[in-house]
Structure 1
Amino acid sequence: MTIISIIFPLLSMVLLGYWVTHFQFFSKAQISGISKFAFNLSIPVFLFLNMYRAPLETSFDIKVLAAFYLPVLGVYLCGFLLSRYLIDRRGGSNASSGVFALGCSYSNTILVGLPVIIAALGEQMMGNVFAIITFHSALLFALTFILASKRSADGFSWRNFTGSILFNPVVLSISAGLLCNAITLPIHQDLLATLTLISEPALACALFVLGANLSFYRVADDWYASLLASIVKLLLLPAMVYLFGKYLLYLDHQQVSLVVLMSASPLGVNAYLIASQLKQQQSTLGSAVVLSTLLSVFSFSFWLWILL
């Protein structure tokens, strides 16, 4: 399979979502409805079914998790220091630097990474993907809130944060699929067929909604900070993952390809939502979502060329 044959169908869905929204063929309210169907129903069912069918003995590999998360934490620290001593040379707050660090390290694994991985590697690696996704948001969001906790006069609640993570549709669906898989719970064929039908538009809807949402953002005046975060996210992070996985942890080629493609995904929009909640770096992360998504076409092409 060529790089173009992997990227073109995915990029086409993103562009379709962008153009139909840009030319107001679809309204923001209509996109919101599609997004609600995708992220609250179709994608959770898709994740549940794939975790239910995944071979558990190979899904939770500590070396694969380490190859992804150790570089992620290293890049998070790098982003924190860049924000503190380069972007804000007078020394920014922990909250501001933590949010920028999140923008350098948080991957859009569901909307972008998952379709690319399925197209490039097939569905046999899905168990490892979901094992990584399960802890992704919880780790990076918690770390960011810890750094911002000293200025939590806005009443941030760890209890509410924990609940929002545990009952997140993505985490909940993966956990339910894992549990049903572990106890070998039988699912009737008719119900399985219904769930499969619901899950089929998941990835197409995700890419369509991603493109549509891009039309609602713009690159802010502080584009240089957004560009720096995008470069760190799309080049430094996957490069570190590649080195860790291939030369330090000696993963096989399929496993290296998996973690590199996951880390090469652009910045996820949830990072912008965290920035808005903490009232730090909102314009930078909003712009970085757009820039990193556009630039990911080139970064994915580069990493696919290296890996395939």
Structure 2
Amino acid sequence: MDVADRLSRPAAVGYDVPLLHAPRARAHGGSRRAALAWCVGAALVLVGIGLAGAACQGAAVATDFTAKNLAPSLAHPFGTDWMGRDMLARALAGLSTSIVIGIVSAAVSAVVALALACAAALGGRRVDALVSWLIDLAMGIPHIVLLILISYALGRGALGVCIGVALTHWPSLTRVLRAEILQLMTQPFMVASRALGVSRCRLALTHAVPTVAPQFLVGLVLLFPHAILHEASITFLGFGLSPEMPAIGVILSEAMGYLTAGAWWLAVFPGVSLLLVVLLFDRVGAGLRRLLTPEEVQA
């Protein structure tokens, strides 16, 4: 008997426990439209922040000692620092730098993860064992320590930070993609293709990569917040970007010496801005995950 009949019938034998409410069917179409709207809106805001930061690079380093250490006002919404530099311009420029570094490093890291996952799943037991050993080795070392060592060995700067982030953020995504491709290899058409002599490279390009494309895209987007936060972290510690660059890590590091003097805006607004950018990237990743997940899986 369906739910409608149970609701319309009076309580009888076997129905002494009343049904208080009928479960509502999930509106998959509406949730997908909302996810798409959130995803597009967050992406547009991120693009706007990146463009605004690129346009503010000159204003971010312009000094005016007649307007130093000013509290937030209409003329300077984020206040000014000890050199009279506008903190709004510096925060936007720093966020733009972080976004660019995060995109480059996350893209390189995701490509490395995809290549290693395909090699592990299609290269045989020895290659799979080697890739699994590399994953365990990379995950056994704290990210921040390995990132500092790589960045410092490469002379710091933007290049060192990008390479360091790219070489430390691939293990988790590699493990996910490897599991998906290994599951794909058990499918009958893949077994038949291998029996017919289809090369492993062709199997990877024609079947493995298209199959794991949704997981790859979601993992790529979700790598951005980690890349941005780690870039800001090692820059704050002095092992990342150059102090002359208007980066969020540099801004927060310099602000530490002025917080006791009451200049709270030097750290609060840049820190909150970085947090909002990370949350926007997380929103884009969550939206992509919902859009790329089949409706029957979400039910």
**TM-score bucket (shorter structure):** under 0.3
TM-score, with structure 2 as normaliser: 0.27
Higher relative contact order (CA 8 A, sep 6+): 1
TM-score, with structure 1 as normaliser: 0.27
Q: Say which one has the larger Rg.
A: 2
